[in-house]
Amino acid sequence: MTHDQLSPATLAVTAGRPPRVQGGPVNPPVVLSSTYVNQGVSAPGDLLYTRIDTETWHPFEEALAALEGAHHGVVFGSGMAAVVAAVGDVPSGGAVVVPRHAYQVSLGYLDDLAARHGVDVRRVDIADTDEVVAALDGADVLLAESPTNPMLEVADLPAILTAARERGVRSVVDNTFATPLGQRPLDLGADVVVHSVTKYLAGHSDVVLGAAVTRDDDLAAGLRAYRTLHGAIPGPMEVWLALRGLRTLHLRVERANANAADLARRLAAHPGVAEVRHPSLPDDPGHERAAGLMNGFGGILGLRPRGGAAAADAVVAAVRLWVPATSLGGVESTLERRRRFATESLTVPEDLLRLSVGVEDVEDLWADLDQALRSTFS
């Protein structure tokens, strides 16, 4: 069977395995070697030196490419390394279109390009298709996210990716939040998809890793060249851990999504809650679009407790099971008030808590949130 005949849940388990041979291992070996025996003129594909390529990257690259429907996977030392490589060369005076609520370090990188190279960074409401399409005129790159971090705005990806293609704008989609199980942006017209593998793909909060995938041979060659020239490479153990995590991606995402939707519904009726954001809620601004475009509504919730930023901080201090921590997509549930970071976008409400819902029993998660909200509210 070829990859495109298998469902994503099966691919998560089967892709990137070694060939089935008598006495062979079921899992790919981890090769710990910085250099390879190589003399004379090497043939294409011969391994030479681990900054350039190593076989320990390939199984993860193949598995992620299979899940995203890509032809090439390129693993990086972090999600940010993948984002920077995928944005690529933007000429001085060029333009990049980005959601105003994109990942804050991606925005920080683009601000740096603006300061040093006069790049025009066009921050848009990614849910407003007309605004995005207008901003694409004369742009070089679209760096899209949907749902956005942390506001969970949902883009009309097919429309904006088509508009980018028509205008010759290279499109990059950061698919960290949705995962390839939630949506496959390459099928919708994206040139490159990037991931913070650190989050759902690896899934256990024990590794920092990134990846980019594409169907385009030239873009793939450019990503690999960037990785080699900048040394933006992962270590072999990190990639092995990520592949181990990827094997249960479908189980973790299904459970996290179900837990998040259940908690969103209960929180919406809680007296200590001013607002809940989750695309599963019928009155959420992103609901209809997410229902049409995505498979599942994701495991990230936005929560604004009654009582403002002080109450939000009190909730974070009062939880016992939920872990007060940044990052997301691990098996354990975490939460944080995003505006505690001075760099967070000022259009994110001061009192917004971002909850990354894990795979624990939902009743335990609910009981802990409920007691934390009640202790700060009453």
Ligand X SMILES: *Cc1c(COP(=O)(O)O)cnc(C)c1O
Residues that bind ligand X (CB under 6 A): 78-80, 83, 103, 105-106, 145, 149, 174, 176-177, 196, 198-199, 208, 210
A 10 A CB-CB count for 134 gives: 13
CB within 8 Å of 367: residues ≥ 6 apart: none
Min CB(356)–ligand X separation in Å: 10
Q: Which is nearer to ligand X, 270 or 337 (CB)?
A: 337
- Is position 174 annotated as part of the catalytic site? yes
For the packed helices 249-268 and 362-377, what is the interaxial angle rounded to 10 degrees? 40
How far from chain centre, in Å, is Cα 1? 29
Q: Which is nearer to ligand X, 103 or 226 (CB)?
A: 103
| Residues 140, 215: Cα–Cα separation, whole Å | 19
Catalytic residue among 53, 174, 191, 313: 174
Min CB(82)–ligand X separation in Å: 8
- Is position 109 annotated as part of the catalytic site? no
Catalytic residue among 122, 123, 199, 354: 199
Min CB(161)–ligand X separation in Å: 17
Distances (CA, A) of 369 to 85, 282, 283, 308, 321: 39, 22, 22, 17, 9
Catalytic residue among 17, 36, 51, 262: 51
Min CB(152)–ligand X separation in Å: 12
- Is position 199 annotated as part of the catalytic site? yes
Q: Where are the alpha helices (DSSP H) in the chain?
A: 8-14, 58-68, 79-87, 104-117, 129-136, 157-166, 179-182, 217-230, 236-246, 249-268, 287-293, 308-318, 362-377
Min CB(272)–ligand X separation in Å: 27
Residue 273: name the closest of 151, 373, 150, 375 by CA. Answer: 373
Min CB(70)–ligand X separation in Å: 18
Q: Which is nearer to ligand X, 80 or 311 (CB)?
A: 80
- Is position 226 annotated as part of the catalytic site? no
Q: Which is nearer to ligand X, 197 or 372 (CB)?
A: 197
Residue least distant from ligand X (Cβ): 79
DSSP output for 29-94: PPP--SB----SSPPTT---BTTT--TTTHHHHHHHHHHHT-SEEEEESSHHHHHHHHH----TT-
Active site residues: 51, 103, 174, 199
